[in-house]
């Protein structure tokens, strides 16, 4: 590979690096709403389009706010062997062990989730609709990032193992390609999280154990697929950009079995658990006093949940992530 080619690929990688692709990020608020108790569900349902739309805002913010990027990941390997299990979970303890600069450089995702869930709790307490929706979308985004294996690794785009582009392949291309086959009707009831700070670490550990497989399966899929089929090149602004092809993505997806779907559903479950926990910790404010649900809203919710239970959201044009694509 020429140096220019490598450069072009790395530029593409920069563009591609978000977090769950926009599409996947936008699925979790919708599913999470279905898992909520009756006292919360109509409020979230009434504002679902906004939550879906805003669930990617933290990624958009990266373009304008230099402080934003490290909030979306944590490069565990940098902090030593089994760091995901050994690092201090609280920010105060972590900053005693590592310089704050190092933490900001290699990612602050677990602490960002903690910060946002406290803000959401406070918003519920104040019963301020705009703040509730704002922080519910923020929690949704960062909890989503915590379910993406490559958001927990220093080798976040395969740049150390000649697997550049794997980040967007796993989190954007695969869900886009496979969505019609996903089972999105998994049942879950929002659960109370006793220790939200500790809980995000548990989630990150479960995510981090997937990292090795994410790379290994790419290598195995590559054994039977030549580079000419594996990649396609596109010229943009006079530069070559290299992407994985759908043919390769399908082969890779088969090897991963239901990993991406599982992480997507696990994201939605965790989001509902966090939303619910914040609401409980705020003293279970009456959300119908903030926004009274109309009869037609209740009817729409019922109809949508019926389609969801049959896993027909996509087929019936009710998957909001699909509608909200830009
Ligand atoms: Zn993100």
* Residues 70, 156 contacting (CB under 8 angstroms): no
pLDDT reported for residue 19: 58
Sign of torsion, CA 134 172 151 10? negative
**Of 252, 229, 249, whose CA–CA distance to 177 is shortest?**
249
* Residues 123, 132 contacting (CB under 8 angstroms): yes
User: Which stretch of DSSP H or E encloses residue 176?
Assistant: helix 174-178
DSSP letters of 88-150? -SSHHHHHHHS-HHHHHHH--HHHHHHHHHHHHHHHHHHT-HHHHHHHHHHHHHHHHHTT-GG
CA of 296 to the centre of ligand 1 (A): 34
CA of 141 to the centre of ligand 1 (A): 6
In the predicted model, what is the mean pLDDT of residues 195-218? 98
Sign of torsion, CA 146 148 152 156? negative
Ion ligand 1 residue ranges (Cβ < 5 Å): 19, 59, 72, 145
pLDDT digits (tens, 9 = 90+) for 59-100: 999 999 999 999 999 999 999 999 999 999 999 999 999 999
DSSP letters of 58-85? HHHHTTT-TTTGGGG---GGGG-TTHHH
Cβ neighbours of residue 234 closer than 8 Å, sequence gap 6 or more: 240, 241, 243
In the predicted model, what is the mean pLDDT of residues 235-250? 91
CA of 139 to the centre of ligand 1 (A): 11
43: number of Cβ within 10 Å:
26
Alpha-carbon span 130 to 54, nearest angstrom: 12
CA of 294 to the centre of ligand 1 (A): 34
pLDDT digits (tens, 9 = 90+) for 151-178: 999 999 999 999 999 999 999 999 999 9
In the predicted model, what is the mean pLDDT of residues 255-259? 97
pLDDT reported for residue 241: 84
Beta strand residue intervals within the chain, DSSP E? 231-236, 239-244
CA of 57 to the centre of ligand 1 (A): 9
**pLDDT over 50 at 14, yes or no:** no
CA of 282 to the centre of ligand 1 (A): 26
CA of 94 to the centre of ligand 1 (A): 22
pLDDT reported for residue 2: 37
In the predicted model, what is the mean pLDDT of residues 288-300? 97
CA of 35 to the centre of ligand 1 (A): 23
Q: Which two tokens stand for residue 25?
A: 């990020």
CA of 298 to the centre of ligand 1 (A): 32
In the predicted model, what is the mean pLDDT of residues 179-185? 96
**For the chain, which domains are there?**
19-161+183-211+261-323 (1.10.575)
Average pLDDT along the chain: 93
CA of 69 to the centre of ligand 1 (A): 8
pLDDT digits (tens, 9 = 90+) for 24-55: 999 999 999 999 999 999 999 999 999 999 99
User: Which pairs with CB-CB distance under 8 Å and at least 24 residues apart come from 130-137?
Assistant: 132/290, 133/47, 133/50, 133/51, 133/54, 134/54, 136/29, 136/44, 136/51, 136/275, 137/29, 137/50, 137/51, 137/54, 137/55, 137/57
User: Which stretch of DSSP H or E encloses residue 4?
Assistant: helix 3-16
Cα distance from N-terminal residue to C-terminal residue, the chain: 34
CA of 321 to the centre of ligand 1 (A): 16
CA of 185 to the centre of ligand 1 (A): 24
**pLDDT over 80 at 231, yes or no:** yes
CA of 306 to the centre of ligand 1 (A): 31
Q: Strands 239-244, 231-236: parallel, antiparallel or unpaired by DSSP? A: antiparallel
CA distances (Å), origin 249, targets 17, 23, 52, 159, 207? 17, 17, 26, 18, 21
* Residues 285, 127 contacting (CB under 8 angstroms): yes
In the predicted model, what is the mean pLDDT of residues 229-238? 91
pLDDT reported for residue 240: 86
pLDDT reported for residue 90: 98
CA of 247 to the centre of ligand 1 (A): 27
């Amino acid at each position: 590979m020429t140096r220019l080619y490598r450069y072009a690929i790395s530029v593409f990688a920069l563009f591609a690096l978000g977090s769950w692709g926009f599409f996947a990020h936008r699925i979790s608020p919708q599913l999470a709403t279905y898992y909520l108790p009756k006292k919360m569900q109509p409020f979230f349902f009434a504002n679902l389009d906004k939550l879906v739309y805003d669930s990617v805002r933290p990624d958009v913010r990266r373009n304008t706010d230099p402080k934003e990027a490290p909030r979306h990941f944590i490069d565990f390997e940098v902090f030593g062997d089994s760091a995901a299990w050994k690092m201090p979970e609280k920010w105060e303890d972590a900053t005693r062990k590592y310089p704050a600069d190092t933490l900001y450089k290699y990612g602050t995702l677990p602490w960002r989730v903690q910060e946002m869930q406290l803000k959401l709790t406070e918003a519920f307490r104040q019963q301020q609709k705009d703040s509730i929706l704002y922080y519910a979308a923020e929690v949704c985004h960062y909890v989503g990032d915590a379910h993406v294996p490559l958001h927990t690794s220093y080798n976040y785009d395969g740049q150390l193992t000649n697997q550049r582009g794997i980040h967007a392949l796993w989190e954007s291309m695969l869900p886009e390609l496979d969505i019609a086959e996903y089972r999105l009707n998994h049942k879950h009831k929002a659960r109370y999280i006793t220790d939200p700070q500790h809980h995000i670490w548990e989630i990150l550990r479960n995510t981090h154990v997937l990292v090795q497989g994410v790379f290994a399966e790419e290598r195995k899929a590559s054994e039977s697929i030549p580079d000419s089929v594996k990649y396609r090149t596109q010229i943009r602004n006079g530069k070559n950009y290299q992407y994985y092809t759908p043919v390769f993505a399908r082969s890779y997806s088969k090897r991963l079995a239901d990993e991406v779907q599982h992480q997507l559903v696990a994201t939605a479950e965790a989001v509902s658990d966090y939303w619910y926990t914040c609401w409980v910790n705020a003293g279970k404010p009456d959300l119908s006093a903030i926004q009274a649900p109309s009869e037609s809203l209740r009817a729409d919710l019922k109809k949508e949940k019926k389609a969801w239970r049959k896993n027909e959201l996509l087929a019936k044009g009710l998957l909001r992530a699909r509608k909200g694509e830009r």
